[in-house]
Chain A
Amino acid sequence: MAQKVYAGVTVDVNEEGYFTNPSQWTREIAAEIAKEEGIDLTEQHYQVIEWLRKRYESGEALSIRSINKSGIVDVKTFYQLFPGAPLKKATKIAGIPKPASCV
């Protein structure tokens, strides 16, 4: 298992850079991962990230559709906040595993 240092903290990640232990995550760590992905986190980003973490903790599957129904952002804004591959990027920054969903 690989390890990475973010914001002075050593965290466990898999070979793609996703956290293997989501409890090691902090807001400061998120900001540094986001910088690696070329994103400056705003309060809106954090709202999405925290929603993703909550959803992950409750064991519910993550899909692009669930974002639309989150009540936090619509899908268009989600794509703007995390350009490129939004669900992959957002979960990486949120310190949770990469979603295995096809939708």
Chain B
Amino acid sequence: MANDKDKIKKINIICAKGAIEDVYATLVLGNGAVMEGIETNIFFTFFGLDAIVKNRMDKLHTAVVGNPALRLPGGMRMPTLLGVIPGMEAFTSWMMKKEMEKLDIPPVSEFMELITAGGGKIYACKLAMDMFKFKKEDLCEYVSGILTVGEFYELAGGEGSHIIFT
């Protein structure tokens, strides 16, 4: 087992993308840290903001065009051209969410409820908020504050603290 001084004491995760897999990678890492008793800050910026905007957070999609790792049920690669069929992105995203539900992975809003109930903190990036013309009222209740990059670094400081960019 690692020495106490080798242990991770704080995790700071930055999520700049808003596809299902980007946001879930962030939330699984964040929730996992909270569950281990690690102090956790999650910072959403650029397209990642969709994950904390009230009327968007539970409607995230996954990219079906330009996603070479995406496969059809059975394992065949999904031809990019199929991705342009209307409804394909919505269908694929629905499938992803259904599969996640089977593994007891909660929807985004519920995941954030679990994270914040355990003491994890969720923040929005000020610059991206300004750029996408979001207001504080657009954000879900789980957001603790809107930070500048300087404030984020201040928050992320300390011994045993790590920054992850998902």
A-side residues, CB < 8 A to B, are 61, 63-66, 68, 74-76, 79, 83-88, 101-103
Contacts and interface: CB of A to CB of B under 8 A. Distances in A.
Nearest to A16: B1
A66 B114 CA distance: 11
B51 to A, nearest CB: 16
Q: Interface range on chain B: under 10, 10 to 19, 20 to 34, or 35 or more?
A: 10 to 19
A101 B114 CA distance: 15
Interface of B: 28, 31-32, 35-37, 103-106, 110, 113-114, 117-119
Nearest to A61: B104
A63 B35 CA distance: 10
A74 B116 CA distance: 12
A65 B110 contact: yes
B35 A86 contact: yes
Contact of B114 (A61, A75, A85, A102): A75
A75 B36 CA distance: 14
A103 B27 CA distance: 10
B117 A79 contact: yes
A102 B118 contact: no
A74 B110 CA distance: 12
